[in-house]
Amino acid sequence: MGQGPLNGVRIVEFAGIGPGPFCGMLLSDLGADVIRIDRPGDGRPGRPADVMGRGRRSIGLNLKDPADVEVALKLLEKADGLIEGYRPGVMERNGLGPDDALKRNPKLVYGRMTGWGQHGSLSHSAGHDLNYIAITGALHAMGEGDGRPRPPLNLVGDYGGGALYLAMGMLAGILNVKNGGEGQVIDVAMSDGAASLATMFYGMKAAGIWTDDREANLLDGGAHFYDTYECSDGKWVSIGSIEPQFYAILREKAGLTDPAFDAQMDRSKWPELKQKIMDVIKTKTRDEWCEIMEGTDICFAPVLSMSEAPTYKHNADRETFVEIEGVMQPAPAPRFSATPGAIQGRPAGLGEHTDEILKDWDVSR
């Protein structure tokens, strides 16, 4: 049995890449029994560095074989949810589409995640995170003011707009079933999710306080008090002193006595004031600025690399990262006071737990 608030929930994950496995990891970390359907493997155990594969068991099924498709359907009869990330029509062609699955289990929550969604003019086209966020306005808003839009890490589309919305949708659907509702299909498009994540900025644009110009707005690096700055040692710090009381502490700690800084919200002054702050921050190392600003209400933090982050004191205090089999990785989140989640096990090899899963789920071949 899994440890966490989803203990007792059963999920069937059809193997994929990127956001699909990440959603499976999230549900497993919270205690769900997530089994992954893989192609039959060669018996080798999973690699410890396959962090997103942690916590699930793997069953090897050949979905081109009708007998194995029948095994998959029998598993779905006993499942609370299914997650898959194939192009529209793939599951249907394998005899595992929503009609087939919900006929076997009317209470099943059928989670489908693709970049463009199950319908729409692009739904059958290939794409990646960058493309999905490109049509939402989010990508256009990121980058330097006089340059091209800059690709962010694929956190906005794949993981924020995709995996997290799928996890939320799955849990909402399962809760609906627990409250007496029927099973249903959850259509998660990463483009939809990325657009949803941009809701605040669309509101700000409608209110006239956000423009389509890059690096010209409050939260896109346009403001001198909300940006990253290079230190004398080539390392960086982040400053987010938006509120007047926090901005006052920034001025005090950084010695920004120039009266020009009084005009905090005068956008016409932002480029000039940013240059002044750049010059000041460049006079000390990152550690020296941490000594001055860290722990104050400036809204300050050092910009850490992935090599540095796990040993940073705050992260260590909260045990934000854990090391398993020599691999440093983020710990389960969020935290639960009564039913804490946990990493349920190491990454599985392809088909490693086939017999064990069939026995546990009481399914015969």
The catalytic residues are 128, 158
Query: What is the DSSP pairing of strand 109-114 with strand 184-189?
Result: parallel
Q: How far apart are CA 257 and CA 251, in angstroms?
A: 7
Which amino acid, residue 202? Y
DSSP conformation letters of 324-359: ETTEEEEPP-S--SSS-----SPPPPTTTTHHHHHH
Tokens 């209470």 found at: 107
* DSSP three-state, residue 321: strand
Largest CA distance in the chain: 78
Q: Which letter, b or e, does each residue of 285-322 get, where b requires 16 or more Cβ atoms within 10 Å of its Cβ?
A: ebeebbeebeeeebbbbbebeeeebbeeeebeeeeebe
> Per 3-state DSSP, what percentage of the chain is helix, strand, and coil (rounded to 5)?
40, 15, 50
- Closest among 251, 51, 339 to 239, alpha carbons compared: 251
Q: How far apart are CA 67 and CA 94, in angstroms?
A: 12
- Closest among 48, 46, 67 to 57, alpha carbons compared: 46
* DSSP three-state, residue 206: helix
Query: What is the DSSP pairing of strand 321-324 with strand 226-230?
Result: unpaired
CA angle 132, 137, 143 (to 5 degrees): 95
Asked, as a colleague might, if the bond just before 334 is cis with ω within 30 of 0, I would say yes
